[in-house]
Every structure is written in C-alpha cells, then in structure tokens.
Structure 1
Amino acid sequence: MTKLLVATMAVALALTGCSTASRDDAAHGKPLVVTTFTVLADIAANVAGDRLAVESITKSGAEIHGYEPTPGDVRRAAGAALVVKNGLGLDAWFDRFTDDLHAPHVVASDGITPIPIASDAYAGKPNPHAWMSPLNVVVYADNLAAAFTRIDPAGAAVFRANAEAYKQRLRAVAHDLVDSLHALPANERALVTCEGAFSYLTRDAGLAERYIWPVNAEQQAVPRQVAATIDFVRTERVPAVFCESTVSDKAMRRVAAASGARFGGILYVDSLSRADGPVPTYLDLIRHDSRTIVAGLTGKAVQ
C-alpha cells in the first residue's frame, strides 16, 4: 500500500471519526456492524436479526487474503458501532487501521483451538479458516451475541435467542456434512484443493487433506508444489481434485490432467456468492461444498 493511500486514509479518518450517527441514520437508525468479509457478515446477521445493520467490507467473490482496504472501507469502519474480524491472521490487513481508530471490535474466532498450517512459509501459523467447521461457528455465534449485547444491551435476549436458533442449524449442518462424507471408500477419503483452507472441515469429516499452496496469499503455484500434489493423487489413487472460487483453477487442472484424476468442481471458502448464486449464505456454502466433494469423488460431478 502506497504512502499516498495511507495518507488519504488518515484524512478520511480525521473527517469521519465522529460519523457514527450519520452511518446509523443511513442504516435506518440501527447500529452498524461492519465485518471484514461476506461469510462473517452472514453469520453476524443471523445473530443480529433485525436489531442491527450488518455490512461486509469486501464484496462477494473477493479474495480476502492480503486485501488492501480503501479510504471508503476505513470510513465505513469509522462510522460503525462494531467491527467484526475473523482473527487467526486472516484479516490482519485491517488491524493497523482499526487500531488507529480505536474502533470497538470483536474477534469472532476467540476461544477456538487453531489448527496449525503444516507446510511452506506459513508452517506453524494458525490456519485462519476456522469457519469451515460449522461447530467452530457455534463459538462465533456466542462471541457475536456477547459483543452485540455490549453495543445494544436492550437486545440481549434477542441476540441470545437468535444465536441459540442459529447454533441448532449449525449443528444440523455439521452432522449432515460428516454423515455424507463418512461413507466414502478409503481412496476417496481425501480432499485435494488449491488452497489449504479445509483443515477444519477435513478434521470434522475424517478426510485426508492435500493442497497446492497453504494460503491464497501465495496463489502462484511453484513446480515443486504441483509435482508433490500430482504424486499424492497418483499414489493414493484419489479420484477427483478441487479448487476454490476466488482463485484460478489452472494449476489444479494441470494436476488433474497429469494424475488422471477428475476435476471435481469449485468449492467456496473465503466468499459467498451474490444472492442469486450457489452460496448466498454460510449454511449454503457448507452444503454446497459437501455435495460437490461427494459428487466429485464418486464420479457424479457435472463439469
């Protein structure tokens, strides 16, 4: 990020640091909650219900690793009653601005035991994609209900009730996910993807995990990563491989061609689709990914 952009943001903050009232007016009088990405916005909206206005900084389809906030993004955060971050290093790109703002914020993943990244430059750091386990999102819901109560104490009972109802749906989706993947034969019980974003999902479902790069901040697959993935797919006789919606699938299609595996389809992780797309909500995302994985590994995917 250039010094000019940083300076522009500083001016924006100076002009909008007291704009909470105007933002709330724009949200029809409801306190504004800003999240760092669309998945988190949907989770937050389920807990907030009608009492709060929830917006995502990034748009549908955006790549969130290494995102660079614009002055407009920072203005929105300055006018928010609360900023919701995932944590675990995912949205560190926004920390330096919210720290300067002293904006009220909550880390949705607080209390979750992270799975460490296993390879390459990120080895040992926490895998940030904790929301890919619906059981982890149960923790998110509790954290959000508590944070929303701090900014709107009168809504405490509503937030608790919304969180409990949402947690029931999360547990049901988690059960369906594990049940649908549990019956796969041994050589089909492996998930091979472009990004290592599925560690929490594969842990829950009892699948082996393999990926080309650990986080999308890299995105450019190097030959050794591709070769190692091809070797794994061949050796384990994995029938299908997958890639995420926010990155190019070219490297994974090379893996499929060289290994003889099918390209099983596109999975969603870092971003929801638009309302008329395949994953307009977080629960839709988990259901879509589960169906796509099973269909791809069993040869039923249509590509």
Structure 2
Amino acid sequence: MIRKLSLLSALPLIASLYGSTALAGEPVKVVASFTVLADVVAQVGGDHVEVSSLVGPNGDPHEFEPSPSDAKALKAAKVTFISGEGLEGWMERLISASGYEGKPVVVSDGITLRSMEEDGETVTDPHVWNSPVNVKVWVDNIAAALAKADPDDAADFAANAKAYKDKLDTLDAYAHEKFDAVPEASRKILTSHDAFGYLGREYGVTFLSPLGLSTETEASAADVAQLIEQIKTEHVKTYFLENSNDPRLVEQIAGATGAQSGGELYVESLSEKDGPAPTYEQMFRYNVDQLSAAMAKSS
C-alpha cells in the first residue's frame, strides 16, 4: 500500500537536505513572508542581503500554501521577517515542518494597531503597510534585526534605513496632498476586502468592503444586502478590484449599486517587475493616484 504524504508532512525530509550556514563575506540570506515586506527589507539591507519572498508577486498572503522550495528557502535563511498580527497564519506550520531553528522577526511590533468586530470577535487589522507612517516602524525593526545578524555592516543598515524613511516621509506628504484636495464627503471607495483601514485612518478615507480583514472570510447574504444599502445611502460611486483577490463578489455588489470601476489596486502584493507596482514606493503612489483620481471625478 502506497501512503500519500501531505505537503507539509513531506517538508522536513526536503528541508533536511539544506543547511543554513552562510560563508563569511557573502550576503546574508533573508526570507520575508510576502513581496511588500521583501522589498522593504531589500531597501534596508542593500547589497549586504539576499532576500527571497515566500508569497510571490500578485499572491494572497492570507491563503498562501507553502511548497518544498519555500521550506528550502526558510531552512537556509539566517533571518526571517514576517509582518505579524495574524497575516501569516501558515508560518508556524511551515517553520515546524521545515526545521528552521530561528525565530521570525515581527516587523509590525510597535505600530499603533486598529481593530474591528468580526463575527462577534475583536480582530486586529494586519494590513499596516498601507500607511507609510507604519512602514517607518518596519524599517527600524528590520535595521535592528539585520544589525544583530551582521554587526559588521550595521552602519550601512542604519544609513539605508534613514534614507528610506526619508522616502516614506515623501510618500506620506504626497498622499496628503492628493487626498486633502478631495472633499471629505467624496472620500468613499468600495473594495474587495477590508485591507485599507490604515490608509483610511491616516488620510480620512472611508473604505467599504463585503469581506472582513482576511480574504478567507465569507460574506453572508445579509451582510451583502446591508452593504449594498449603505453604498446607495452614502452615494459611493467607485469600486476597485484587488490584484490578488477574486473580483466576483465586489463586481456583483457594484452591479447592484451602480458603482463604476476605478480599476485595480495593489493591496497585499506587489506586481511583477514589468507591472505598475514592482516596489513598495511605486505600489503606494499607484494606489494613491488611482484612488484620488476616482474620488475627484465623483466629487
């Protein structure tokens, strides 16, 4: 009788073939949970790090399924970064299965988090990166962890971190310029799931969505009906799809409300290199441009 093994149960055997010791002078092997975080780590680490992302471009970090190659990358990493706050629900299983002996660095530690009620429970919003103010906290945590792993290059990590935080300040100012020009009553957008709460908090934008904080949740018929009524009452005129999520539900709601498509946003994942959002900076600017243009048009 042939016994079939699940992917995660097979990972320890695969991972055991690979070591995690880096040679002196080589870049530090680093793993990040998803592309947005991987890009920020690369900005801070510079030439001193070799960064790989477990979730690829246009991937959904909520519903990610690890592969043997992910176990290999994790096993070989000297430092692993996650955003935390429930985003990477699969990471603990992957660590256990791969034999990785380190402890992931939670880069969102220190951020003032937002929470909401979902199915009678209070849950934390993990989508902190949709505010560049929060990403500055990421940068400090990343620089500290890299300096600990590679003390010889700590000064470079600190310099890179400072330079990148200046860019994040520029992004913050850019977003304020764009959104502040739109009347507050017109700053309302329909999206697939509740992933823009931190952007909304920072810039006074209201986001409505049929799904909660995770794409793994399901909207009930009553929830959808209530949202449709709210969209009509508040005169929300534009909806956006998300690059990593199923568009069908939000399209259905848009059809029932008369909301018009504003295009696609990059919420939890960067695009491919030849797409409009291959870095965090480009992703944030792209989203701000798309959102502010749609709001200005409907105001």
Normalised by the size of structure 2, how large is the TM-score? 0.91
Matches of 2:5 and 2:86, distance apart in 1:
23
**Equivalent in the alignment of 2:35:** 38
Separation in structure 1 between the aligned mates of residue 226 and residue 216 of structure 2, nearest angstrom: 16
Partner SS, residue 273 of structure 1: coil
Does the 8 Å contact 1:187/1:237 carry over to 2?
no
Q: 2:82 aligns with which of 85, 106, 127?
A: 85
The CA deviation at 1:154 is 0.6
Q: State the secondary structure of the residue aligned to 2:262.
A: strand
Choose the corresponding residue for 2:134, options 133, 136, 140. Answer: 136
- Structure 2 CA distance for aligned equivalents of residues 19 and 45 of structure 1: 19
Cα distance in 1 for residues equivalent to 2:193 and 2:55: 19
Aligned residues: 293
Q: Residues of 2 paired with 1:120 and 1:188: CA distance?
A: 29
CA shift at 1:69, angstroms?
Answer: 1.1
Q: Which runs of 5+ in 2 are unaligned?
A: none
Q: Which residue of structure 2 lines up, in the alignment, with residue 243 of structure 1? A: 241
Partner of 1:173: 171
Q: 2:277 aligns with which of 266, 276, 279?
A: 279
What letter is aligned with 1:267?
A: L
CA shift for structure 1 position 132: 0.7
Q: What amino acid is the match of 2:119?
A: D
Q: Is the 8 Å Cα contact of residues 81 and 151 (structure 1) preserved in structure 2?
A: yes
User: Which deviations, in whole Å up to 9, do the C-alpha atoms of 1:133-174 show, x marking residues without a partner?
Assistant: 100000000000000001110111000000000001001101
Q: CA separation in 2, counterparts of 1:7 and 1:253? A: 38
- Matched residue, 1:72: 69
Alignment partner of 1:124: what SS?
strand
Distance 2:118 2:208 in 1: 10
Alpha carbon RMSD of aligned pairs, Å?
Answer: 2.0
**Counterpart Cα distance in 2 of 1:247 and 1:254:** 14
Whether contact under 8 Å (2:8, 2:94) holds in the other structure is no
User: Which one-letter code corresponds to 1:4 in the other structure?
Assistant: S
Which runs of 5 or more structure 1 residues have no equivalent in the other structure? Answer: none
Shift of 1:3: 5.3
Residues 191-219 of structure 1: CA distance to partner in whole angstroms, max 9, x if unpaired? 32111000100000012232110134336
Match of 1:288 in 2: 286
C-alpha spacing 1:186/1:110, structure 2 compared with 1 (3 Å)? closer
CA contact (8 A) 1:264 1:297 kept: no
Alignment match, 2:211 = 213
Question: Which of 39, 44, 47 is equivalent to 2:44?
Answer: 47
**Could you say if the C-alpha distance between residues 209 and 156 of structure 1 is closer, same or farther in structure 2, counting changes exceeding 3 Å?**
same
State the partner residue of 1:20: 21
**Matches of 2:150 and 2:242, distance apart in 1:** 37
Which residue identity does 2:112 align to in structure 1? T
Contact 2:30–2:49 (CA<8 Å) still a contact in 1? yes
Instruction: Quote how far apart the aligned CAs of 1:104 are.
Output: 4.2
Measure the CA separation in 2 of the matches of 1:197 and 1:251.
16
Indicate conservation of the 8 Å contact 2:194/2:211, yes or no. yes
Alpha-carbon offset, residue 102 of structure 1: 2.1
TM-score normalised according to structure 1 size: 0.90
Distance in 1 (alpha carbons) for counterparts of 2:210 and 2:80: 32
Greater mean alpha carbon deviation, residues 82-91 or residues 59-68: 59-68
- For 2:12, the aligned partner's letter is A
Taking only the aligned residue pairs, the percentage that are identical comes to: 35
Q: Which residue of 2 aligns with 1:103?
A: 102
Q: Matches of 2:197 and 2:73 in 1, distance apart? A: 32
Deviation at 1:297, TM superposition (A): 2.2
SS of match in other structure, 1:53: strand
Which residue pairs with 1:255 in the alignment? 253
SS at match of 1:140: helix
Structure 1 segments of 4+ aligned residues over 6 angstroms from their partners: none
The answer to which of 68-77 and 223-232 deviates more is: 223-232
* 2:13 counterpart (11, 14, 19): 11
- Work out the CA distance in 2 between the residues paired with 1:87 and 1:154: 28
